[in-house]
Structure formats: structure tokens, C-alpha cells
Chains A and B, each alone.
Chain A
Amino acid sequence: MSLLGRSLRDLWAHRFLSAVTTFAVAMSVLIVGAFSLFVVNAAGIIQDWGSGARIVAYLSPGVESDKVPLLRGEIGRIEGVAEVRYISRDAAMERLRKGMAEEAFLLDHLRENPLPDALEVSLFRPMKNWRRFAPAAQAIREIDGVAEVEFGEEWLGRFLHLMDLFRLSAAGMGGIFFLAAVFFMANTVRLLLYARREEIEILYLVGATHSFIRLPLYLQGMLHGIIGAGAGLGALYGAFYLISIRAPGVGTFPIRFLSEEIMGGILTGSVLVGWFGTYLSLKRFHR
């Protein structure tokens, strides 16, 4: 009988314990997967909030409109700058009016438009280039014709701190969940092998080689990993589907399921955990 055939036959012969082991893997995958799902979507939502970040360069009062293209060109050459848009003082007033909505009538009493002309600067992939905002703003500030630069330095600082904290806690929690899954899995595999210790000892006594005994056990461990991971991800998708019907997104960000890479990583990780759990448990059967 082939190696796979023997492994499947043994899985069936010990179906209860195999089901328990597979369930353990599925639960671990469900926990790790749910956490990954939260991290991926939370990071996406935060990214979505941050993608609107801009540097606004207010021009000095005497700057003529024909000098604006030169300034745009000069700013456009700064590293990381993606787009430079000119917002005339009239356009800025119009935006303010729209922003104030019902209170816009207050602006009617102004004798003249107090707003300056400005250049709105956006950077390439703002989330990946947060730390370039300050140097870019400084470079813009030094250009002749720019009176003042604003990019929400305080807000950005808090935002960066929040992102760092989030990344750190995600990595820490992910690591803890992963270790817990390995521990959970290794112990369940050990339980399975403990129940089969007599059979394994008998096989050694009748002259079976290490590979004859161990290869099917390793394969079974890996099968537990694959089947468990499949079941865990399936259950997670079911829960995700039910949630996404009721709440398809947060703001402009549509919540999404785990990427193929993450699912592939979870599957590979589960197979490795199955193999490693079997390895740890078999060490005691060395003879």
C-alpha cells in the first residue's frame, strides 16, 4: 500500500483522535486568521484615513500668478513629491464657503478675501513615506516665494506613533497566537501518538524501520495541518461573509478577506506545525 494510502487508512482507523487534532488546528487557524483579518483591515482603514494627507504651501502676498508654474516645478523636483496643485485665494474661499455650509453667510461681511494663494503638495504613497513629510515640508519652506508651510505636524506625529504602536502590538500578538497554536497542535499530536504508542512499539518489535513507521505519521501530521487549516479558513470566511453583508466597509474602505499570500502562509504554517508537532512527539519513541 502506498505511503498516502497507509496514512489515510491510519487516519480513518483513529478517526476520533484525528478529528480532535484537526479541530485543534482549525481552532488555532481560526484564532490566528481572525487576528490577521483584524490587523489587515485595521491597517487598511488607518491607511485610508492617512491617504488624504497633504502639505500646504502658502505663497507670499507679492507672488505674481505667472511665477506659480516656476514654483510648482521647483516643488515638483523635491524627492517624494507626486503632485503639486495650485489653489488660488478665490478657489480657497470657495472651498471655505462650501465647508462652512450654513454659516457661509458670515463670509459675506468680509471686505476682501484674507486667504493667500497656496500650493497643495501630495507625496507618493503617503503611508509609506510618512517620514518624508517633515524634510519635504522643510525643503518647500526654503523656496523663495513660500511664506508658510503646514502639514499637520502634531497630528502626523500622533498618527505615526499610533501606527508604530499598532504594528508592534500586531507583531507581538501574532507571535503569541502563533506560539500558542504550535503548542496546542504539538500537544494534540502528542496525545494522538500517545494513544498509538503501543502500535508504534509493536511495529518496532516486528522489525519495521524508522521510515516505515515515521513517514506515515509525519504525513498524517501534515494532513491534519492542511485539513485543519482549510476548515479554519473556511469557518473564518463564513463569519467574514456574514459580517460583510451587514457592514461592507468603514468610511471609503471596503473590508476585505485575507489575501492569497496570507492564506498561503497560514496553510504552509499549519503544515509545518503538523510536521513539527509530530517531530516533537516522536522524539520520545527513539530507540
Chain B
Amino acid sequence: MTPPEKGPEPIIRLFHVHKRYGAKAALIDISIDVFENEFIFISGPSGAGKSTLLKLLYLGEPVSEGHIVVDGLNLSRISRRRIPMLRRRIGIVFQDYKLIPTKSVYENVALVLEALGTRPRLIRKTARSLLRRVGMEEKAKALPPSLSGGEQQRAAVARALAGNPKIILADEPTGSLDAEAASDIFDLLRECHERGATLLVATHDTALIRRTGGKVILLDRGRLDVTTTIPKLPA
């Protein structure tokens, strides 16, 4: 008798996860499996727990109850010293970009590479290549406050890609952008997915989800409402 065929291991696994802030429950009993190279939207109204869910994945917040495993690391048992190891496997894109305002676009990207211990010559080459990829090569010397929202988010995407992460988490990446800039950023994220990354994008922009299509996890007041797949709208 042959053993049953083993399926692929999820790259992210949430197992009965609860998150509470004092008496207030932000996430209630969430169990999700995310497999390698999936592109998943986390959607729901404001306060549904989308951002909280992403924060738990990079240990921006600790879990109150349950277990999370990210790329083989059990986040409930991870030591403080190993948290950087987890974060190096994840690229994060924030709604408010979180670029260092006193450093140029190039320096913001190069700093991540420096933190990862990349050799100086390779830092220059990789940072330039990343900025070229997001169309920001000509603004490499600019300081973030002098850029438009779309440009800042492009720089933030370049920074998120700097460590060549397996997983990209994007928290409302188009929330502060106009339609054209939002579309550009989304195209960039899709490109990352095509290159093999696993993407979790928290957004309440249903038009964008419909335009792109894909797996959607819908949250409502901290509970998993539904997991569904929305087909891409015809162009």
C-alpha cells in the first residue's frame, strides 16, 4: 500500500488566531493557509482587522491566542533575536510608505541591503536595479517629502523588494493614491507575484480587486467572513 500523497506545505498558516487589545477583540478565531506564490486580497470594511492580521504576520503585534507559522517559523515561540530573520523573509509595503524622510530614495533602499549585510558594491548595483524596476531611477537622489504619493509608494515597493523576500505584505498600498498611481502600484505588485513572491494585500478597494481578480479573504468585525475567488474582469 502506498502512503497518501502529501500536498504542499503552506508558507503561512494561521491556526485559531485571536488578537485582543485589552477587552476589545480585533481578530476572532482566524484559521487560514496561504500557499507559495498565491496572491491573496484581505478585504473588509474599516475596523474589520485587515491591518491587524498583517501586523501579526511580521510580529508588529503579538498573537493573543492561537499559532502562526510563517515560512517554517512558529511566531509564538520565536525568540527576540530571531525576529529580524522573520522580517528579512517578508517585504512590507505600508499605506503611509514609512520611508525615512531624511534619507534619499536610494539610501532608503540601500539601507535595507546594508542591514542584510550585502557587500557595498552589490548594494549599489542592486539598489539601482530595484529603482529602475519601479521606475524611480531618476529620482534616486530625491528626499521622500519632495515626491508625490505614487512616487513614494514606488520607492517603498523597491525597498520591500530589496531583500528579495518570499512574502510581500501590503497594507492598503493604494489607500492614499489617485486611481492612476494606484493602478501603477498594483501592476508592480502583480509583477512581484509573477516573479514568484507570495502576496497578501489588505485593501478595501473592491474596484481594484475586481479589476485584478484573485483569492479574497473577507473579514468582518474580526471574524473570517468568507474566502472566495473573484475572476478578473475582462479588459
Contact = CB atoms under 8 A, between A and B. Distances in A.
A203 B103 contact: no
B88 interface: yes
A205 B60 contact: yes
B95 to A, nearest CB: 14
Contacts of B87: 204-207
B147 interface: no
Contact of A207 (B60, B81, B84, B100): B84
Contacts of A207: 84-88, 90, 112, 115-116, 163
A207 B87 CA distance: 5
A199 B98 CA distance: 9
B18 interface: no
B70 to A, nearest CB: 13
A95 interface: no
A209 B114 contact: no
A245 interface: no
Interface in B115-149: 115-116, 120
B106 interface: no
Interface string A185-212: 0000000000000110011111111101
Contacts of A202: 98-100
A199 B107 CA distance: 12
A222 B24 CA distance: 44
Interface band, chain A? 10 to 19
A14 interface: yes
A13 interface: yes
Contacts of A208: 84, 112, 115
Nearest to A5: B120
Interface string B163-187: 1000000000000000000000000
B159 A199 contact: no
Nearest to B94: A205
B39 interface: no
Contacts of B41: none
A50 B60 CA distance: 69
A247 interface: no
Contacts, number: 53
A168 to B, nearest CB: 47
A4 B147 CA distance: 30
A106 interface: no
Contacts of A110: none
A209 B98 contact: no
Nearest to A212: B115
Nearest to A208: B115
Interface in B2-56: none
Interface string B206-233: 0000000000000000000000000000
B101 to A, nearest CB: 8
A213 to B, nearest CB: 8
Contacts of B98: 198, 202, 205
A209 B103 contact: no
Contacts of A14: 102
Contacts of A101: none
B103 to A, nearest CB: 7
A16 to B, nearest CB: 11
Contacts of B112: 206-208
Nearest to B117: A212
A209 B81 CA distance: 8
A199 B102 contact: yes
Contacts of B102: 13-14, 199
A70 interface: no
A1 interface: yes
A13 B103 contact: yes
A73 B175 CA distance: 100
B60 to A, nearest CB: 7
Contacts of B162: 206
B188 interface: no
Nearest to A6: B114
B92 interface: yes
Contacts of B83: 287
A209 B58 CA distance: 14
26 contacts: A1-B114, A13-B102, A14-B102, A198-B98, A199-B100, A199-B103, A202-B99, A202-B100, A203-B111, A204-B84, A205-B58, A205-B92, A206-B87, A206-B92, A206-B162, A207-B84, A207-B87, A207-B90, A207-B112, A207-B116, A208-B115, A209-B115, A210-B81, A212-B114, A212-B115, A287-B80
Interface of A: 1, 6, 13-14, 198-199, 202-210, 212, 287
Nearest 9 A-B pairs (CB), nearest first?
A207-B87, A207-B88, A208-B115, A207-B84, A206-B112, A209-B84, A199-B100, A13-B102, A212-B115
